[in-house]
């Protein structure tokens, strides 16, 4: 790749598909975004092609494309797996994207892109092992080591959202059914949708996460209870990560990561569940916010 080449990143999310063009130094040239055609796999492929065409028209340049997807690819068949956007499951995502875009591409899990982005020039700069958590419409995580996403032989590193909730109370067993076919996965407890559903069960009010948090800040006791329960569940889930991987930093992404109280309440709650009596791990909000995943997708070509 030439030093002055443009890098294109696509974040294929469950609610929006976003594209960005970066210089190799990280300067943003252009950004485009459209709502995801949900449950329309081929519509998503077409939209990605349209977004890349817009980027290249606006910049007058072309460049290599990295794509973050809400799942991953099976290491042998390269078919989509583990996707919360279930219309990707079993699809030849990489093959179809290459055919539609008529160029070589690199495809990675969206949480891996978040981890790499934050490790390269975000909240994880200077930390060797970055564990990046997405608390959004779903829940997942990615791991970056030395600034690069770590995958493992099964392409499953960081699939935190599909482990069971640790230390469950009797009322939390077996938990809600998950799209993966199991019950009680972390995603069913700590996603933004799970937070909203927990409040709705007790209030019969279908409020957004932001509305629930506003009620909590205004002193509503039920909203405060639901928030404390949410933080406790996130803490339990991440305590297992500390006990097994002990990353150098947690970087938080997704809509729930924008709640400032998370960074006040979570460290103490997490410390109460770890095996070690000492918990010193920084917990920081993603420096690039909702844009971190799309930047990480572009960074898939940074050292090419």
- Name 118's Cβ contacts closer than 8 Å, sequence gap at least 6: 124, 125, 130, 132, 144, 251, 253, 286, 287, 288, 292, 296
For β-strands 7-12 and 65-69, DSSP reports them as parallel
> Distance between CA atoms of 292 and 142, rounded to whole angstroms?
12
CA 162 from chain center: how many Å? 13
Q: Give the count of beta carbons closer than 10 Å to the beta carbon of residue 62.
A: 14
Residue 29 phi/psi, 5-degree rounding, is -100, -40
Q: Give the count of beta carbons closer than 10 Å to the beta carbon of residue 269.
A: 17
Over residues 127-167, the pLDDT tens digits come to: 999 999 999 888 999 999 998 889 889 988 899 999 999 99
Q: Which residues pair with 149 in a beta bridge?
A: 144
78, 133, 187, 215 from 138: Cα distances, Å: 22, 11, 6, 23
**pTM of the entire predicted model:** 0.90
68, 251, 273, 284, 299 from 296: Cα distances, Å: 8, 14, 31, 17, 5
Structure-token pair, residue 231 = 């933080």
Q: Which value, to the nearest 10 degrees, does the dihedral of the CA atoms of residues 218, 220, 226, 227 take? A: 20
> Distance between CA atoms of 58 and 143, rounded to whole angstroms?
33
Structure-token pair, residue 23 = 């210089």
Per-residue pLDDT in tens (0 to 9) along the chain, 304 residues: 444 579 999 999 888 899 999 998 889 999 999 999 999 999 999 999 999 999 999 999 999 999 999 889 999 999 999 888 889 999 999 999 999 999 889 999 989 999 999 998 899 999 999 999 999 888 999 999 998 889 889 988 899 999 999 999 999 999 999 988 999 999 999 999 999 999 999 999 999 999 999 999 999 999 999 999 999 999 999 999 999 999 999 999 999 999 999 999 999 999 999 999 999 999 999 999 878 889 999 988 876 5
């Amino acid at each position: 790749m030439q030093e002055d080449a443009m890098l294109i990143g696509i974040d294929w999310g469950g609610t929006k598909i976003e594209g960005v063009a970066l210089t190799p130094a990280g300067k943003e040239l252009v950004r485009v975004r459209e709502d995801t055609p949900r449950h329309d796999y081929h519509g998503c492929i077409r939209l990605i092609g349209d977004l890349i065409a817009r980027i290249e028209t606006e910049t007058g340049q072309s460049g290599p494309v990295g794509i973050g997807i809400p799942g991953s690819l099976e290491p042998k068949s390269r078919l989509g797996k583990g996707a919360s956007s279930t219309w990707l499951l079993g699809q030849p995502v990489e093959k179809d994207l290459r055919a539609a875009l008529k160029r070589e591409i690199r495809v990675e899990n969206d949480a891996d892109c978040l981890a790499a982005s934050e490790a390269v020039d975000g909240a994880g700069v200077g930390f060797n092992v970055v564990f990046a958590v997405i608390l959004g419409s779903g829940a997942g995580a990615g791991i970056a080591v030395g600034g690069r996403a770590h995958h493992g032989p099964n392409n499953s590193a960081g699939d935190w959202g599909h482990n069971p909730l640790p230390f469950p109370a009797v009322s939390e067993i077996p938990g809600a059914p998950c799209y993966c076919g199991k019950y009680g996965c972390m995603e069913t407890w700590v996603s933004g949708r799970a937070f909203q559903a927990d409040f709705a069960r007790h209030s019969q009010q279908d409020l957004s996460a932001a509305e629930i948090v506003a009620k909590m800040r205004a002193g509503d006791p039920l909203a405060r209870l639901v928030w404390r329960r949410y933080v406790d569940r996130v803490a339990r889930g991440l305590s297992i990560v500390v006990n097994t991987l002990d990353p150098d930093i947690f970087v938080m992404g997704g809509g729930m990561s924008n709640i400032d109280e998370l960074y006040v309440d979570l460290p103490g709650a997490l410390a109460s569940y770890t095996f070690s009596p000492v918990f010193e791990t920084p917990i920081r909000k993603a420096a690039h916010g909702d844009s971190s995943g799309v930047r990480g997708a572009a960074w898939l070509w940074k050292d090419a």
